């Protein structure tokens, strides 16, 4: 399948940035089973992490054509056989200028910065890594507790000098095990969260258009209730946690039609992508107390400002897109990525390749 990566010398180009260093990428490549004959290092952007965040948001919203690829990369494309990137874009134009390119590797889970379709047309496999599934799952669990038990709200009021014991959701407060949690999306993060909720004996319902039942069984989730539609989740769950990718099909998919199905005692948790939620509809539901509350780490526009509408709401917990921000997840992601590549090489795990169905259509 991808045996050429270890059987033939590869001319590898690594493109690092302010968060994932190209030196770390090279070390990870050379520590793997890939036959790295030559490794060229390129840096995308600059050391300003705020500038990086703005570029990242642009790519996530508008795709790989939205930002220029790394300066100094073009001359290396002629002989490049493996391209490894973090967030530096890989648009069709780059792929077209790399006649020898045989694999694209990326140190993250999202694919917004890569033209996967263009790679598939050339039968070039794209391999990613889910570097922060556990951190995000743990954070989502933390948001559930912070929201339902008023941990964040009571802290905020105490810091303002108020000894408050009554909150908008006081009539709904209960233990997590008394609530039904519904997961919309059961990919890597959703799976990790489900495992933790199951261990806490929390009732679960899940919905995913591409549900992997075998994977559920392998993770001890074979008896979890599966529902057919996201609407079923919003109707039945006390806590709805979103774990969807942001695509043209999912943008704004969680809107008033979903919120109208929720019980007045229900909560929304979003650690996935802000763009999947119609933010105006959510704010309206929160203002009217049509739902008990929401806990959000992601927003349609970042960084969030007071003008975005959440200021003054007493039934929301918001955090600045930090669910995956542990000290080790991002900087060490090249090593996680290359361990994934090694598993493909040794175990033939085609499902670890983003576009494997297109590449290996047989």
Residues whose CB falls within 8 Å of the CB of residue 66, separated by 6 or more in sequence, listed in order? 58, 59, 89
Same domain, 17 and 125: yes
Same domain, 77 and 103: yes
Same domain, 156 and 196: yes
* Residue 323 domain flag: no
Same domain, 118 and 140: no
Hey, is 89 helix, strand or coil?
Answer: coil
Same domain, 83 and 213: no
* Residue 173 domain flag: yes
Same domain, 237 and 107: no
pLDDT given at position 338:
96
Same domain, 27 and 81: yes
Same domain, 175 and 46: no
Where are the strands (E) in 103-180, listed by range? 103-106, 126-127
* Residue 325 domain flag: no
Residue 298 has pLDDT above 90, yes or no: yes
Which tokens go with 40? 């060229």
* Global model pTM greater than 0.85: no
Same domain, 154 and 183: yes
* Residue 16 domain flag: yes
pLDDT given at position 264:
97
Structural domain including 156 reads 133-318
| Mean pLDDT across 6-18 | 97
Residue 362 has pLDDT above 70, yes or no: no
Q: Could you confirm whether 251 is annotated as catalytic?
A: no
* Residue 125 domain flag: yes
CB-CB contact of 59 with 90 (8 Å): no
Same domain, 69 and 166: no
Residue 286's CATH number:
3.40.50.720
Query: Mean pLDDT across the chain, nearest whole number?
Result: 94
Could you tell me the CA-to-CA distances from 70 to 36, 77, 86, 87 in Å, in that order? Answer: 21, 12, 11, 10
Q: Could you confirm whether 273 is annotated as catalytic?
A: yes
Q: Catalytic pick from 55, 102, 131, 273?
A: 273
CB-CB contact of 345 with 2 (8 Å): yes
Which tokens go with 320? 């600045």
Beta bridge partners of 269: 241, 295
Burial 140-150 (b: 16+ CB within 10 A, else e): bbbbbebbbbb
Count structural domains, the chain. Answer: 2
* pLDDT, tens only, 192-211: 999 999 999 999 999 999 99
pLDDT given at position 351:
74
Q: pLDDT band at 328, cuts 50/70/90?
A: confident
How far is residue 105's CA from residue 247's CA, in Å, rounded to a whole number? Answer: 20
* pLDDT, tens only, 67-96: 999 999 999 999 999 999 999 999 999 999
pLDDT given at position 132:
86
pLDDT given at position 247:
86
Q: Catalytic pick from 156, 302, 352, 358?
A: 302
Same domain, 120 and 192: no
Same domain, 160 and 21: no
Q: Could you confirm whether 30 is annotated as catalytic?
A: no
């Amino acid at each position: 399948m991808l045996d050429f990566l270890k059987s033939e010398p590869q001319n590898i180009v690594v493109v690092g940035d302010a968060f994932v260093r190209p030196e770390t990428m090279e070390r990870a490549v050379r520590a793997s089973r890939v036959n790295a004959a030559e490794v060229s290092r390129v840096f995308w952007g600059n050391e300003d992490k705020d500038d990086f965040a703005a570029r990242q948001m642009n790519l996530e919203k508008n795709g790989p054509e939205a930002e220029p690829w790394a300066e100094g990369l073009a001359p290396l494309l002629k002989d490049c056989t493996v391209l490894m990137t973090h967030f530096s874009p890989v648009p069709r134009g780059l792929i077209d200028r790399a006649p020898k390119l045989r694999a694209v590797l990326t140190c993250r889970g999202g694919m917004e910065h890569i033209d996967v379709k263009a790679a598939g047309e050339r039968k070039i496999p794209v391999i990613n890594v889910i570097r922060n599934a556990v951190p995000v799952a743990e954070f989502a669990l933390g948001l559930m507790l912070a929201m339902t038990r008023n941990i964040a709200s009571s802290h905020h009021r105490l810091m303002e000098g108020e000894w408050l014991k009554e909150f908008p959701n006081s009539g709904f407060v209960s233990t997590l095990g008394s609530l039904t949690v519904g997961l919309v999306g059961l990919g890597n993060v959703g799976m990790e969260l489900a495992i933790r909720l199951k261990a806490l004996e929390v009732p679960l319902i899940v919905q995913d258009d591409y549900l992997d039942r075998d994977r559920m069984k392998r993770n001890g989730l074979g008896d979890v209730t599966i529902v057919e539609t996201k609407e079923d989740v919003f109707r039945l769950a006390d806590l709805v946690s979103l774990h969807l990718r942001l695509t043209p099909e999912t943008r704004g998919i969680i809107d008033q039609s979903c919120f109208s199905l929720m019980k007045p005692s229900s909560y929304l948790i979003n650690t996935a992508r802000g763009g999947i939620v119609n933010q105006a509809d959510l704010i309206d539901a929160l203002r009217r107390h049509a739902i008990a509350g929401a806990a959000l780490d992601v927003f349609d526009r970042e960084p969030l400002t007071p003008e975005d509408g959440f200021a003054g709401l007493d039934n929301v917990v918001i955090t600045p897109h930090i669910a995956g921000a542990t000290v080790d997840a991002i900087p060490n992601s090249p090593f996680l990525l290359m361990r994934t590549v090694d598993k493909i090489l040794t175990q033939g795990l085609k499902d670890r390749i983003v576009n494997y169905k297109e590449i290996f259509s047989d």
